[in-house]
Structures are given as structure tokens and as C-alpha cells.
């Protein structure tokens, strides 16, 4: 244990750092200015990791968290920091990653695009019904032990696959969600409906997804652990009557050993089976398994910056890689001669085509498959070589073969949208062979968390003569 440690600076991924006897110590759940005793959980020659076990004094930057579940739930890590300070740390995280990992020439960073709405900002949440309530460390009374065995609904506790934090009020999504979740919970208590025991793999209520759109449309999908038709119909009829705001109500039967939705078939109980979301004046059809940016308002801001970095004038062929349901390409379509989207997941490509049709955008082509295999000479001959490439990969970043493919395509502009500046920096180092980083702007999609998106514009270097 380390005593009286003064936290000096923000590090990354929600951790801060201190220095003790020439060693850097990364500490979670603290902010710069805190003075703490640290329980070391990992120690190497030059660095260590740990967590606070006692606070001698708190940083002057701290504010009172607004959520009753903060510190237990784990969904938000930074409610104790003023939002403006969160933005400073997030901008710093991007700069540190691109400088230390990327090690490429960088322009001055543009200011982070902060969120106008810092609460109730998510359009989708998923809750878990469980027979095991998570209780924070230090609760060992008989009453608390009994509570740990009660059925609850909320979020998975960090580090526990079988325990759930009972949520009374979550500030991440419109308050309607809290009413829906708590009402279904109370109905289940009254009717004796069982919650899912993930160890024994038994129980009726399993998970629930709620999506609330800026258009006012609401989708609820209740995932059930068995086929009990009578109980199911009674539950769904109750929910429909209690919440007429729900425009699409679905149920999904899941008897698998895991909660993944990709191989399940949601069934429509009421409504059209989808909702419509809107970014600017573009409309998007979203089904129960569709991917869509989780923060609608900031998603629009992210796409506006992406469109700006693409520098479109109406003459360019734009390739949208990892295009998903086509939202970025469609958002940029009015400034492009043609949008070509490529995505591995065939169902997402079906959604992309439908969304293009919904918006009356005919100058698009969406292809399902691996970019490395799809984008060959025959494909270029049919659809044109890219003038602009937009790439928005998952957290793992781009496969090195795809980076090589982008280098081969030699589009004049590449716009790299990333949810992980560390892997983005790694890829920028590889792209440096032919591309210069010309613009950088972080975007905060998830206030009160350490997550950060970043948009980078790269331009093709002039050939050496």
C-alpha cells in the first residue's frame, strides 16, 4: 500500500497518475488534486496500478455527483468532475495518443466538440433482469446478504457476469425509460414472474432494450428466457396499456447460454417493428438489431465534422468503409457525386439500402463483404476509384491489410473516424507512408465517461520528384 499519494495528472481511460519513488502509479476512481492511500494491484519496474482505499483530501475540482448510483453502477466514471474539465482531459487524451503512439507530424488540434446535453443523452439502453444484486464492498450485514439474493433489474456490475446493480433512476436516457423499467419490475414482483439466473440458466425475464428517438418514436424489446405464452401475452398487454408512448413493442425468446442478439429473431407484438430516427433532415429506419449512433445529437455533430473534413464539392466519389447501416455516407451524400459503402455484415447493408431509398438518395451503392476483397480493379471500373475515403472502424482499429489497401487506393482525402484514439494513432503511423494528418478534432459522444471519439483528416502527400 502507498500512503498520502498526491494525484498529479490525468492519464487515460479514466485513470489518473501519481509518481512514487521514480515509478508512475496509475490510479482509478481519482482525479488530479486528490490525496489518497493506494492499494497496489499490479507492480512493474517502472509503473504500477492501484485503487484508492482512503481519501485524505479531495481535489478542489470535484463536484457532487448527481446520480444516486454513481460509484457503484460504473456506467459513468466522471460525474465528480465539472463537464468543462472532462473535456480538457479528453482533448489531452487524444493529443497524448496521437503524439506518443502515432509519432507523426500533427497540425494544431481543433477544440473538442462538447455536448450541449450532458444528461439523458443516450437513445438506447439495455437492462438486465437478474436474481443476484450487486452490493458494493463493505456491506456484510445479514440484511445486505439477503438483499444480494433478491431479483433486480439494472446494469451488469463491472467485473461480474452474474451480478446486477439495481437501478432506480438512470440519467443516461429520457426519464420515460426509468418509468418503463421500474413499472415492469413492479409488475413482475406482483405477478411472481421470475428473473433470469445466469448461472442456472433459468428464469422468465432476461433483458430489455429501450430506444427513444428524437422523432418521439419509442421501441421496447423484452427478451424472455422461455416460451411461456400466457405469461408473455399478459406482460406485453400490460406494458402496451401502461405506456401508450411505445410505438413499437417487441419480444425475443432467448434460450441460449449468452445474451447476444445477432442470431435471435425479435417478434413484433405491436407497431411496425421499427422506429424512425432523424439527423438534420435525413431519416433512418432502425430495427431492434440495427446499429445506430447512441447519442443522436452528438452523432449529428460527429457526422457534420466528418462531412466538413471530407471537403466535398459535388464532384467526388466517396467510399464509406465500415459503413454499417449507411448513416455517414447518407449524411454526406448531397456533397458527393456517388457514395459507395462497404460493410461485412449483410443485414446492415440491407438497412443501408433501405435508408438510402427512404431519403430518396439514388447515387449510392452498398456492398457486403471485406473491403480488401471487394475493392478490386473490376469494382473500381464499375463504381469509380475513391476521391474521398471515410473509415469508421471498431475499437480495434483497422486491419493492417486494410491500411495497405487504403494506401494502394491513393484517394486524395481520407477521413478517419475513431472511437479509440490509441488504435487510430497506430493506424496513422502506418498511413504516414503516403498521407499527412491535416486536421484533428475530438468529439465527446458520452459525457461523464472517459470515452472519446476523434476525427482526423489526412491528405495524400505530393510524390517526391
All domains of the chain in start order, with CATH: 2-62 (2.40.50.140), 86-117+291-460 (3.40.50.150), 124-279 (2.40.50.1070)
* Percent of the chain clearing pLDDT 90 (strictly above): 87
What pLDDT shows up at residue 142?
A: 54
d(CA 219, CA 213): 9
What pLDDT shows up at residue 82?
A: 94
C-alpha triplet 454, 457, 463: angle, nearest 5°: 145
Which has the higher per-residue pLDDT, 207 or 157? 207
The three cell numbers of residue 427 are 493506424
- Poorest-pLDDT segment among 4-13, 124-133, 413-422: 4-13
Mapped onto helix, strand or coil, the DSSP state of residue 226 is coil
DSSP 186: H
What pLDDT shows up at residue 90?
A: 95
d(CA 135, CA 53): 17
Q: Is the pLDDT of residue 121 over 80?
A: yes
C-alpha triplet 297, 298, 300: angle, nearest 5°: 70
What pLDDT shows up at residue 407?
A: 96
- Out of 73, 213, 332, 419, the active site residue is 419
Mean pLDDT value across residues 97-104:
96
* Percent of the chain clearing pLDDT 70 (strictly above): 97
Q: Is the pLDDT of residue 234 over 80?
A: yes
What pLDDT shows up at residue 34?
A: 94
pLDDT digits (tens, 9 = 90+) for 296-346: 999 999 999 999 999 999 999 999 999 999 999 999 999 999 999 999 999
Would the CA dihedral through 218, 353, 388, 458 be positive or negative? positive
375 belongs to the catalytic site? no
Q: Which residues of 41-77 are buried (b: 16+ CB within 10 A; e: fewer)?
A: eeeeeeebbbebeeeeeebeebeebebebbebbbbbb
Q: Is the pLDDT of residue 203 over 60?
A: yes
**CB-based contact 268:250 (threshold 8 Å):** yes
The three cell numbers of residue 150 are 433478491
**CB-based contact 87:112 (threshold 8 Å):** yes
Q: What are phi and psi of 236, to 5 degrees?
A: -65, -40
User: What DSSP element (H or E) covers 279?
Assistant: strand 275-279
* Angstrom distances, CA of residue 328 to CA of 132, 270, 392: 41, 30, 9
Would the CA dihedral through 273, 283, 445, 322 be positive or negative? positive
Residue ranges with strand state E in 311-407: 317-321, 338-343, 364-368, 388-391
Mean pLDDT value across residues 392-415:
95
Which has the higher per-residue pLDDT, 146 or 178? 178
What pLDDT shows up at residue 138?
A: 59
DSSP 108: P
Q: pLDDT confidence of 278, banded at 50, 70, 90? A: very high
What pLDDT shows up at residue 29?
A: 87
pLDDT digits (tens, 9 = 90+) for 21-49: 888 999 988 999 999 999 999 999 889 99
Mean pLDDT value across residues 141-166:
80
DSSP 60: T
**CB-based contact 72:66 (threshold 8 Å):** no
Mean pLDDT value across residues 439-450:
97
**CB-based contact 453:461 (threshold 8 Å):** no
The three cell numbers of residue 202 are 433459468
- Poorest-pLDDT segment among 31-40, 136-145, 245-254, 335-344: 136-145
d(CA 194, CA 319): 49
Q: Is the pLDDT of residue 80 over 90?
A: yes
The three cell numbers of residue 26 are 496509475
Q: Is the pLDDT of residue 360 over 70?
A: yes
d(CA 419, CA 75): 17
What pLDDT shows up at residue 346?
A: 92
Q: pLDDT confidence of 135, banded at 50, 70, 90? A: confident
Amino acid at each position: 500500500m502507498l500512503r498520502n499519494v498526491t494525484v498529479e495528472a490525468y492519464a487515460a481511460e479514466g485513470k489518473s497518475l501519481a509518481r512514487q519513488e521514480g515509478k508512475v502509479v496509475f490510479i482509478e476512481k481519482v482525479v488530479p488534486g486528490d490525496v489518497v492511500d493506494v492499494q497496489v494491484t499490479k507492480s512493474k519496474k517502472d509503473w504500477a496500478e492501484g485503487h484508492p482505499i482512503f481519501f485524505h483530501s479531495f481535489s478542489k475540482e470535484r463536484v457532487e455527483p448527481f446520480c444516486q448510483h454513481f460509484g457503484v453502477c460504473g456506467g459513468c466514471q466522471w460525474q465528480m468532475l465539472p463537464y468543462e474539465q472532462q473535456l480538457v482531459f479528453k482533448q489531452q487524451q487524444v493529443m497524448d495518443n496521437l503524439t506518443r503512439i502515432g509519432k507523426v507530424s500533427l497540425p494544431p488540434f481543433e477544440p473538442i466538440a462538447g455536448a450541449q446535453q450532458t444528461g439523458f443523452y443516450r437513445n438506447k439502453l439495455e437492462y438486465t433482469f437478474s436474481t443476484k444484486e450487486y452490493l458494493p464492498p463493505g456491506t456484510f450485514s445479514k440484511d445486505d446478504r439477503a438483499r444480494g439474493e433478491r431479483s433486480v433489474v439494472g446494469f451488469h456490475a463491472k467485473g461480474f457476469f452474474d451480478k446486477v446493480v439495481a437501478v432506480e433512476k438512470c440519467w443516461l436516457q429520457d426519464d420515460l425509460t426509468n418509468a418503463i423499467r421500474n413499472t415492469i419490475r413492479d409488475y413482475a414482483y406482483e405477478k411472481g414472474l421470475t428473473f433470469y439466473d445466469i448461472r442456472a440458466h433459468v428464469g422468465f425475464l432476461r433483458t430489455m432494450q429501450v430506444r427513444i428517438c428524437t422523432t418521439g418514436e419509442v421501441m421496447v424489446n423484452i427478451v424472455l428466457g422461455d416460451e411461456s405464452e400466457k405469461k408473455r401475452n399478459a406482460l406485453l398487454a400490460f406494458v402496451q396499456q401502461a405506456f401508450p408512448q411505445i410505438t413499437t413493442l417487441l419480444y425475443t425468446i432467448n434460450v441460449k447460454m449468452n445474451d447476444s442478439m445477432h442470431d435471435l429473431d425479435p417478434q413484433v407484438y405491436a407497431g411496425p417493428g421499427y422506429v424512425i430516427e432523424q439527423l438534420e433532415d435525413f431519416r433512418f429506419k432502425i430495427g431492434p438489431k440495427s446499429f445506430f449512433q447512441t447519442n443522436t445529437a452528438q452523432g449529428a455533430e460527429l457526422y457534420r465534422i466528418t462531412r466538413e473534413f471530407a471537403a466535398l464539392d459535388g464532384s467526388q466519389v466517396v467510399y464509406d468503409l465500415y459503413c454499417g447501416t449507411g448513416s455517414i455516407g447518407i449524411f454526406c451524400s448531397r456533397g458527393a457525386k456517388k457514395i459507395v459503402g462497404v460493410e461485412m455484415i449483410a443485414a446492415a447493408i440491407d438497412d443501408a439500402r433501405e435508408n438510402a431509398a427512404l431519403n430518396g438518395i439514388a447515387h449510392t451503392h452498398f456492398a457486403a463483404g471485406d473491403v480488401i476483397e471487394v475493392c478490386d480493379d473490376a469494382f473500381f471500373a464499375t463504381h469509380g476509384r475513391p476521391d474521398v475515403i471515410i473509415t469508421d472502424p471498431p475499437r480495434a482499429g483497422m486491419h493492417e491489410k486494410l491500411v495497405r489497401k487504403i494506401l494502394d487506393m491513393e484517394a486524395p482525402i481520407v477521413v478517419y473516424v475513431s472511437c479509440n484514439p490509441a488504435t487510430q494513432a497506430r493506424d496513422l503511423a502506418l498511413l504516414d507512408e503516403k498521407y499527412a494528418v491535416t486536421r484533428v478534432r475530438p468529439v465527446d459522444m458520452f459525457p461523464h465517461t472517459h470515452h472519446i471519439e476523434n476525427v482526423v483528416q489526412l491528405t495524400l502527400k505530393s510524390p517526391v520528384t
